[in-house]
Structure 1
Amino acid sequence: MKPDSAPSERLTSEPLNLLPQYRQKWLQFAWSTESIDQATAIEAIDAMYGRAKLEPPQIEFCANPLELRERVEFYLERDPEGLRQPWYYLLYSCWSEIRKRLDRPLWTNLYEHMGGELFDDLSQQLRDPLEKQLQRQWGTISHELGLHWHRGLEATLWEVMQYPTWLISNGALIDFCVTELGYTWQEEDWLIERGNTCDQEQWPLMQTIAAQVGWVVPLKQMCWVCDRPHKWAFDSAGQLHGQREPAIEYSGGFQVYAYHGLWLDDRFRKKPPSQWQPIWLCSRPNPPYERMIIQEIGYARLCQEYKIKIVDTWQNHTLLWFPLGGGRKVYLLKTVDEATGTNQYVEVPALTSVRAAIAWVNEQTGKE
């Protein structure tokens, strides 16, 4: 992969201003709600296996991630290929062979020609934020699937099912470098010796797999493709979010509920925040959930309906605390506005007197 001129000379502010467009372009591939075109997927998967010197697999299409997980687990338990290999080896080895001949050579060529400093700089601006955003979404889906990173087969599936998101984030950076910086695929002896060979068909195939096939789990003789959801819902920050409705919805009844990127369990799904219970704060420690509950219920309602303990009072101020799970506490300075009679609340550290709490608040706000 070689540019017409040195990368440092071509990397002006003009192409850099286009980075958000490429991030959004490839996010749209990940967020598509169009059903997978099975003919296109079969053709691309056969080509992908061919590059890895594997025979075309039997391909099964799944309506949603839960169906995909169940089919993969059932297949591995039966071991129909008679390989008698550990399931983690079967899952990792096929993807490893495919990526060795699909995106990794493109990635390595790009790094070698651009140089580490420029490559890392572009990665930090384009690839890394995209990958983090997609991984947060995958984390929300994996909660719904009940996959846990530390549990045997579940841990392997948890990782393998992330691979397609890496193709999206890698693809965005390669797309930018090819389109805006003029990189083209060229064979060079010193790269061939390292096994980092590329050809004109490699990049279009990677684009097709990432953008039109999407979520795929390959084994040597079998490959599963998950259809896309027919609904995504986000907040203004691009985080998964639905108010009493699914943030992600697939065919077959698979739904994911989320609150500003945080996966929701059954307690929160279809109840408005006005019906959330302060007592939920005493369940097992979970800071993100605790912050969500406190933010939605509000300090005023917590102080009315929850078990609070007064630490100190002085004039129109009260220092109090309420409990969280695991024996932790949240301290508040409550102040009654003398003109309106309304209550104002400020969260403060674990202090023992109102005056100390007032001094801390004044220090934080710059007041005398």
Structure 2
Amino acid sequence: MTIDVLTAEQVAALDVIRDRWIDIGWSTERADRDAAERGVTEAYAAVGLPAPACVWVDSPLAGAIAATQVRAQVRAQVATQVRDQVRDQVRTQVGAQVWDQVRAQVRDQVGTQVGDQVGDQVRDQVRDQVGAQVRAQAWAQVATQAWDQAWDQGGDQARDQVRAQVRDLVATQAWDQVWRALDLSLCSWSAWADAHESIGVTGLAASKGLRTVAAQSPWWWPMRDIAILTDRPTVMARDNQGRLHNPTGPAIEYADGFGVHAWHGTRVPADLITPGWDLPTALRHDNAEVRRCAIERIAGQDGWAKIITAAGWEQVGDAHPDPGNPGQTLALYHVPAARDGGLYPEPVRLLHCVNATVERDGTRHEFGLTVPAGIGDPVEAAAWTFGLTQNEYARVQRAC
């Protein structure tokens, strides 16, 4: 029997499943290791493999390093078999039992939302940080030995060849281990599988093990006779838009100290957050996104006036009394494109204004608001931020 339409009760159940997997993706509770290991056993059994020994580590960094070492010794990864064979079975069952329209509805209501809200940003941030640190640590451990051997063998050419070979080998193997982890993408896939099971699709039992592991261990490496699993992070900090963000420490942190620092969704160097960069360091940084984050952080502490002066951004027009915020002044500045030392991919204008609301300590917050580069008047810029004309803006009371 093919499922061609969902009942109201089934649609409501999809929301519950979606929210459950989003909560799992953001969880910092300690993993139920017994449950995860039962899931590993089921996942292996689903593809005809005996249960492996399960080794737990505290972070994806530790997992990637351990997986690299194990792989170098036994060369027996089975990730593709454990993951892809089960997923293919599930996909076949869903395709045979569910009409395209219903599949699309389930995907959009459950799998895509879980992936968007949890999987993509967490997976990408952690993966990139792990990849960078694994490569750096592995290179540091191996390079000295290789260099010493090449030095003994003699010749600049020999040394250069060995160094290049070792660098390429280390980088490739380390990055392979980061990619081989069955990571948070399993959250969205597991939500998708749970959703189809909830609407009556049968034959999905083979995927139960993978779903059980995904609910407890977001990063794991299955190999023949051994599976390396990581516990959940101890910290997952976000801003009010759900982006990874922590102004005082790691946005993601694991029990062994490995972490990812992020500023409103952008991964940044740890020292940008603690102790923080000074303005010259921020302005010199070659990555425009990181430079923008650093400047935003400094502006939040020291004010935009200091940033504007130090950056030397050209004022556009004269400063003007703020008609929507009596007693305060508006000023407009040109911020060049990132390629010319600015903050954003394309040129913008920055409106320097202050909050209409006085804080408890008697001060007012100041802001640097970006507006299109074609705006040439500070009052027009302020009006644009509210979707108003200049005349309309002049007649309203506002909070910048």
TM-superposed CA distance for 1:244, in Å, is 0.4
2:286 pairs with 284, 287, 292, which one?
Answer: 284
TM-superposed CA distance for 1:68, in Å, is 0.8
1:327 pairs with 332, 340, 343, which one?
Answer: 340
Name the SS of the counterpart of 1:223 in structure 2.
strand
TM-superposed CA distance for 1:144, in Å, is 2.6
8 A contact 2:268–2:290 mirrored in 1:
no
- CA–CA distance in structure 2, aligned partners of residues 312 and 206 of structure 1: 61
Q: Say whether 1:71 aligns with 2:76.
A: no
Q: Say whether 1:54 aligns with 2:49.
A: yes
1:243 pairs with 243, 247, 252, which one?
Answer: 247
Name the SS of the counterpart of 2:197 in structure 1.
helix
Counting matched residue pairs gives: 328
TM-superposed CA distance for 1:123, in Å, is 0.6
2:180 pairs with 160, 169, 174, which one?
Answer: 160
Segments of structure 2 that go 5 or more residues without pairing to the other structure are: 136-167, 322-329, 343-347, 355-363, 392-400
Q: Residues 255-274 of structure 1: matches in 2 within 5 Å?
A: 255-271=259-275
Q: From the superposition, tell whether residues 127 and 276 of structure 1 become closer, same or farther in structure 2 (CA, over 3 Å).
A: farther
Letter in 2 for 1:159: W
- CA–CA distance in structure 1, aligned partners of residues 320 and 34 of structure 2: 75
Q: From the superposition, tell whether residues 291 and 349 of structure 1 become closer, same or farther in structure 2 (CA, over 3 Å).
A: farther
Letter in 1 for 2:216: Q
8 A contact 1:311–1:319 mirrored in 2:
yes
Q: From the superposition, tell whether residues 19 and 292 of structure 1 become closer, same or farther in structure 2 (CA, over 3 Å).
A: farther
TM-superposed CA distance for 1:51, in Å, is 2.3
TM-superposed CA distance for 1:139, in Å, is 1.5
Instruction: Give the structure 2 partner of residue 137 of structure 1.
Output: 122
Instruction: Give the structure 1 partner of residue 17 of structure 2.
Output: 22
- CA–CA distance in structure 2, aligned partners of residues 306 and 157 of structure 1: 42
Instruction: Give the structure 2 partner of residue 171 of structure 1.
Output: 190
Q: From the superposition, tell whether residues 333 and 176 of structure 1 become closer, same or farther in structure 2 (CA, over 3 Å).
A: closer
TM-superposed CA distance for 1:322, in Å, is 4.7
8 A contact 1:314–1:354 mirrored in 2:
no
Instruction: Give the structure 2 partner of residue 300 of structure 1.
Output: 305
Q: From the superposition, tell whether residues 36 and 20 of structure 1 become closer, same or farther in structure 2 (CA, over 3 Å).
A: same
Instruction: Give the structure 1 partner of residue 164 of structure 2.
Output: none
Q: Residues 194-273 of structure 1: matches in 2 within 5 Å?
A: 201-271=205-275
8 A contact 1:285–1:326 mirrored in 2:
no
8 A contact 1:281–1:324 mirrored in 2:
no
Q: From the superposition, tell whether residues 301 and 58 of structure 1 become closer, same or farther in structure 2 (CA, over 3 Å).
A: same
Letter in 1 for 2:334: W
TM-superposed CA distance for 1:263, in Å, is 2.0
Summarize deviations over 1:57-87 as a string: whole Å, max 9, x none.
34322121111111112223x3x33x6xxxx
Instruction: Give the structure 2 partner of residue 146 of structure 1.
Output: 131
TM-superposed CA distance for 1:302, in Å, is 1.7
TM-score by length of 2: 0.68
Q: Percent of aligned positions with the same letter in both sequences?
A: 20
8 A contact 1:44–1:209 mirrored in 2:
yes
Instruction: Give the structure 2 partner of residue 339 of structure 1.
Output: none
Q: From the superposition, tell whether residues 260 and 331 of structure 1 become closer, same or farther in structure 2 (CA, over 3 Å).
A: closer
- CA–CA distance in structure 1, aligned partners of residues 180 and 68 of structure 2: 13
Letter in 1 for 2:56: F
Summarize deviations over 1:230-254 as a string: whole Å, max 9, x none.
3322333333222303322222222
Q: Say whether 1:366 aligns with 2:370.
A: no
Segments of structure 1 that go 5 or more residues without pairing to the other structure are: 84-89, 186-197, 337-341
Q: Say whether 1:99 aligns with 2:83.
A: yes
Instruction: Give the structure 2 partner of residue 309 of structure 1.
Output: 314
8 A contact 1:331–1:349 mirrored in 2:
yes
- CA–CA distance in structure 2, aligned partners of residues 55 and 344 of structure 1: 60
What root-mean-square deviation, in Å, do the aligned CA atoms of Structure 1 and Structure 2 show? Answer: 3.7
Q: From the superposition, tell whether residues 320 and 48 of structure 1 become closer, same or farther in structure 2 (CA, over 3 Å).
A: closer
